[in-house]
A and B are shown apart, each in its own frame.
Chain A
Amino acid sequence: MKRYILQRIGFMLLTLFLIATLTFFLMHFLPGTPFNNPEKLTEKQIKVLNAKYGLDDPVALQYLRYLGHLVTGDFGMSFQYEGRTVNSMITTRIGPSALIGFQAMVFGTIIGLALGIISALKHNSIYDYGSVTLAVLGMSIPSFVFAALLQYFVGVKLGWLPPALWEGYQNTILPSFALSVTVIATVARFIRTEMLEVLGHDYVITARSKGVAEPKVIVKHVLRNALIPVVTMLGPLAVSIMTGTLVIEKIFSVPGLGEQFTLSILVKDYSVIMGITILYSALFILIVFIVDLLYGFLDPRINFKRGAEA
Chain B
Amino acid sequence: MAEPMLSVENLHVSFQTKDKEVRAVRGVNFSLNKGETLAIVGESGSGKSVTAKSIMRLLPKHNTKVKEGRIIYEGRDLLTASIRDIQKIRGSDISMVFQDPMTSLNPTMKIGKQIIEGLKTYQSISKQEGKTKAAEMLKLVGIPNAEERLDAYPHQFSGGMRQRVGIAMALACNPNLLIADEPTTALDVTIQAQILELMTDMQKKTGTAIILITHDLGVVANMADRIAVMYAGEIIEIGRAEEIFYKPQHPYTLGLLQSMPKPHTSRTVPLIPIPGTPPDLAKLERGCPFAPRCPHTMKVCHYFNPEMQHASGGHSVSCWLQDKRTPKENLPAGVGVV
A interface residues (Cβ-Cβ under 8 A, vs B): 123-124, 201-203, 205-214, 220-221, 224-225, 228, 298-301
Contact = CB atoms under 8 A, between A and B. Distances in A.
A228 B118 contact: no
A211 B98 contact: no
9 contacts: A201-B103, A203-B107, A209-B95, A209-B96, A209-B98, A211-B87, A211-B92, A213-B121, A228-B108
B95 A210 contact: yes
A299 B155 CA distance: 11
Nearest to B84: A213
Given A211-B121, A300-B153, A206 B104 contact: yes
B117 A203 contact: no
Contacts of A124: 62
Contacts of B166: 206
Given A123-B62, A202-B100, A300-B155, A209 B109 contact: no
Interface string B78-117: 0000010001111110011011100111111100000001
A210 B105 contact: no
B32 interface: no
A209 B121 contact: no
B211 interface: no
Given A201-B103, A301-B153, A210 B88 contact: no
Given A203-B103, A205-B98, A206-B98, A212 B108 contact: no
Nearest to A299: B108
Interface in B41-84: 53, 56, 58, 62, 83
Contacts of A228: 108
A211 B153 contact: no
Nearest to A216: B121
B137 interface: no
B304 interface: no
Contacts of B108: 224-225, 228, 298-301
A193 to B, nearest CB: 17
B19 to A, nearest CB: 15
Nearest to A206: B104
Contacts of B122: 211
5 nearest A-B residue pairs (beta carbon): A210-B118, A211-B91, A211-B90, A202-B104, A209-B96
Contact of B90 (A123, A208, A225): A208
A121 B143 CA distance: 37
A301 B107 contact: yes
Nearest to A303: B155
Contacts of A298: 108
B298 to A, nearest CB: 42
Given A210-B90, A210-B121, A211-B122, A202 B107 contact: no
Interface string B282-301: 00000000000000000000
Nearest to A209: B96
Contacts of A208: 56, 58, 90
A19 to B, nearest CB: 36
Interface in B155-180: 155, 166, 169-170, 173
Contacts of B91: 209-212
Nearest to B118: A210
A208 to B, nearest CB: 6
B62 A212 contact: no
A206 B193 CA distance: 23
Contacts of B106: 203, 206-207, 221, 225
Contacts of A209: 56, 58, 90-91, 95-96, 98, 170
A225 B98 contact: no
A201 B100 CA distance: 11
Contact of B107 (A205, A210, A213, A225): A225
B192 to A, nearest CB: 19
